[in-house]
Amino acid sequence: MPKAKRENEDISESFETLLTRFERLRKEEPDLPKRMAGLVPFVLEVVQGSGGVKQLEQLIHYSSDQESAAELIEAILPILANLTRDVPGLEKDIALLAEKLARNNITVPGISPYEAIRDALAKNTFMQLDNTPWPTAVLQEGEAKGQAQLKPAMLDEQPLMPPEEVEKWSALMWKQREELSDLDADTLDMLSHVWLQQANTADNYAVASVDDFLQMRGLKPKRGGGGRRGGYEPEQRTDMLKALAHIQNLWLNMGEVEVNEELGKKRKLNRSSKQAVQSRAFVITDRMGQTRLDGHMDVQRFAFRPGILFARFLFGPGRQTALLSAKAVQYDPYRQKWEKRLARYFSWQWRVRARLGDYNKPYQVQALLEAVGEELNIRYPAKTRERLEKALEALKEDGVIAGWEYEKWEEQIVEQRGWAEIWLEATILIIPPQAIRDTYRFLKRHGDENAGIDLAFNDGEGMAELVRKTRKDRKLSQAQAAVELGVTQSYLSKLETNQVELSNAFRKRLEEWLSGKNYDQKL
């Protein structure tokens, strides 16, 4: 690792001490936990100094390779997450660490409607239903219930289409239905990630290039030579453009789903209500590229945004995001389907489990097969087991998971007749990477309580009972009290049943509400 140069006063003596200590630890201490423990006092010194997290970002910058940078991040995040006092500028500077973490992860929505839509694309569950000419997938994931359809985007501008035109477009949509694959689910993830990274409000547009998406997928452009231009193959760009067209034609018709609406700017109030939602997933509004001799455009860049109503799920009060391993979009959609789908599945599960911190809850083998969309090979069950275990090993080697092991399984069972049925009921422990745990723990501690995160620890039965009694004494419904407090009704319900931790910011607001300060009780 190169020696850090004090080019400005932001790099303190403690920073240089930390850098030197880290270099020595990596050389002298082979045991990772001991290296991490050795860094703790120095990290605390730097964080609590005037430079704050910015100096830690500089330290990561000086790391000579991605492995050492990742190791530093894993050492730093749990320390930040467990600080007992606020650090000036922490909320702003932590974004610098997130940039480093983003090398290995992308950000996607962490809500059940999104997971249901992505799963329908990956497994191509679109089918023919009565009373509609369009390929339709029935969505049912947790509270997300509704339909996704392949419906031409031009219908938004021309809803009253003649029957003969409907028939023509319907045939085209059914052709697109046959083309759906995991690449379309990857495209939905990449669009979401890029938009979430660029957007500041739900109305913002994002700009991306086809080559950006090919790069995110881990594809390597060819080098130029012999007077020829380098870059990606035309077939690669064509496949990417087809997937983008599929997503643009994706129409969502959700039933009763929870939507958060902002009520006031000054008090940052929002309320939750059940609404029916109809929306495009994403809309591509502008295209940029080169015009060919035949008049068609070779699209190179494009501007896009989510559908107006769908944007409320992605960017609004109560939005919730999840970290997805970048490997998930890099795995081959055909040869590495098992790895790709399991990576998505674990990302979704970890986001859900972050609410209660129950990462150690085992997964049933049958559930993992369902996540992949595969069934037991009745004739050769050992092949199914071998493929699942191969996928888990690959995920471990690629850092998508930290480890895995059977929890309830005796190897001698395979000698019994009908062992495969017993194996389906076996359970497997999946260990998430420490960076995933630490990031979600940090968000719990420092994030907005309206970010959709239900925290693992509680404040005791006394507080829950006091909130419930105060609300009833004031003759308020849960919905009314939630509006006053600026949280969703579901959050208040969990608060009254002692299922959430109180963040520092919300604790202060709750104490004011309990004392009757600054709250209008006549809503």
Q: What are the pLDDT digits (tens) for 161-196?
A: 788 889 999 999 999 999 999 999 999 999 999 998
Question: How big is the CA angle at 448 (ends 446 and 454), to the nearest 5 degrees?
Answer: 90
Residues 361 and 418 grouped into a single domain: yes
Residues 215 and 78 grouped into a single domain: no
pLDDT higher for 89 or 127?
127
Maximum mean pLDDT: which of 356-370, 481-495, 502-516? 356-370
Q: What is the mean pLDDT of residues 328-342?
A: 96
**CA dist., res. 37 & res. 296, Å (int):** 60
Q: Using the predicted structure, report yes or no on whether residue 456 has a pLDDT greater than 50.
A: no
**CA dist., res. 357 & res. 445, Å (int):** 13
DSSP string, 414-449: GGSTTHHHHHHH-EEEEEPPHHHHHHHHHHHHHS-T
CB 351 within 8 A of CB 322: yes
Among residues 50, 82, 103, the one where a domain terminates is 103
Q: Using the predicted structure, report yes or no on whether residue 436 has a pLDDT greater than 70.
A: yes
Residues 59 and 118 grouped into a single domain: no
Domain of residue 398 covers 334-430
Q: Residue 127 carries which DSSP code? A: B
Report percent pLDDT > 70 for the chain.
64
**CA dist., res. 17 & res. 8, Å (int):** 16
Q: Using the predicted structure, report yes or no on whether residue 422 has a pLDDT greater than 60.
A: yes
pLDDT band of 9, cuts 50, 70, 90: very low
Residue 147, beta-bridge partner list: 138, 253
Residues 246 and 393 grouped into a single domain: no
CA-nearest of 220, 216, 219, 208 to 299 is 208
Single-letter residue type at 126 = F
Classify 262 as helix, strand or coil: strand
pLDDT band of 289, cuts 50, 70, 90: low
Residues 303 and 348 grouped into a single domain: no
Q: In Å, how far from its chain's centre is CA 187?
A: 14
CB 486 within 8 A of CB 267: yes
**CA dist., res. 140 & res. 467, Å (int):** 34
Contacts of 341 by beta carbon, 8 Å cutoff, 6+ apart: 122, 182, 371, 372, 373
CB 289 within 8 A of CB 300: yes
* Phi, psi for residue 420 in degrees, rounded to 5: -65, -40
Q: How far is CA 431 from CA 39, 81, 321, 461, in A?
A: 23, 19, 20, 31
Residue 152 resides in a domain: yes
Residue 482 resides in a domain: no
Among residues 319, 347, 363, the one where a domain terminates is 319
Residue 70 resides in a domain: yes
pLDDT band of 371, cuts 50, 70, 90: very high
Q: In Å, how far from its chain's centre is CA 89?
A: 25
CB 171 within 8 A of CB 81: no
Residues 119 and 218 grouped into a single domain: yes
Q: What is the mean pLDDT of residues 122-143?
A: 91
Residue 496 resides in a domain: no
Maximum mean pLDDT: which of 42-56, 211-225, 457-471? 211-225
Classify 322 as helix, strand or coil: strand
Residue 475 resides in a domain: no
Contacts of 148 by beta carbon, 8 Å cutoff, 6+ apart: 116, 117, 120, 121, 126, 136, 137, 139, 250, 251, 252, 253
Maximum mean pLDDT: which of 21-35, 42-56, 278-292, 331-345? 331-345
pLDDT at 358: 80
Residue 264 resides in a domain: yes
Residues 179 and 248 grouped into a single domain: yes
Q: What is the mean pLDDT of residues 128-156?
A: 88
pLDDT at 472: 82
Ranges of H-type helices in 205-323: 210-216, 234-248, 311-314
Q: Using the predicted structure, report yes or no on whether residue 330 has a pLDDT greater than 60.
A: yes
Among residues 53, 81, 103, the one where a domain terminates is 103
pLDDT at 462: 60
**CA dist., res. 386 & res. 381, Å (int):** 9
pLDDT band of 99, cuts 50, 70, 90: low
CA-nearest of 520, 211, 186 to 344 is 186
* Beta strands 297-306; 282-291: pairing state: antiparallel
Q: Residues 61-87: pLDDT tens digits?
A: 554 444 555 556 556 666 665 655 555
**CA dist., res. 60 & res. 338, Å (int):** 33
Residue 282, beta-bridge partner list: 306
pLDDT at 241: 92
Q: Using the predicted structure, report yes or no on whether residue 13 has a pLDDT greater than 90.
A: no
Contacts of 494 by beta carbon, 8 Å cutoff, 6+ apart: 454, 500
Give the lowest-confidence range in 136-140, 447-451, 472-476.
447-451
| Average pLDDT, rounded, for the chain | 76
pLDDT at 67: 52
Q: What is the mean pLDDT of residues 277-301?
A: 75
Residues 97 and 157 grouped into a single domain: no
Tokens 């979401």 belong to: 192
Give the lowest-confidence range in 58-72, 133-147, 365-379.
58-72
pLDDT higher for 260 or 394?
394
pLDDT at 10: 40
Residues 168 and 291 grouped into a single domain: yes
Number of domains present in the structure of the chain: 3
pLDDT at 393: 96
Q: In Å, how far from its chain's centre is CA 45?
A: 32
pLDDT band of 459, cuts 50, 70, 90: very low
pLDDT at 387: 97
pLDDT band of 247, cuts 50, 70, 90: very high
pLDDT band of 452, cuts 50, 70, 90: very low
CA-nearest of 465, 339, 435 to 76 is 435
Residue 246 resides in a domain: yes
Q: Using the predicted structure, report yes or no on whether residue 138 has a pLDDT greater than 50.
A: yes
Residues 141 and 114 grouped into a single domain: yes
pLDDT at 473: 80
Q: Using the predicted structure, report yes or no on whether residue 298 has a pLDDT greater than 80.
A: no
Residues 207 and 98 grouped into a single domain: no
pLDDT at 196: 85
Q: What is the mean pLDDT of residues 310-322?
A: 70
Q: What is the mean pLDDT of residues 209-231?
A: 79
Residues 125 and 95 grouped into a single domain: no
Tell whether pTM > 0.85.
no
pLDDT band of 223, cuts 50, 70, 90: confident
Residue 352 resides in a domain: yes
Q: What is the mean pLDDT of residues 347-362?
A: 86
pLDDT higher for 97 or 388?
388
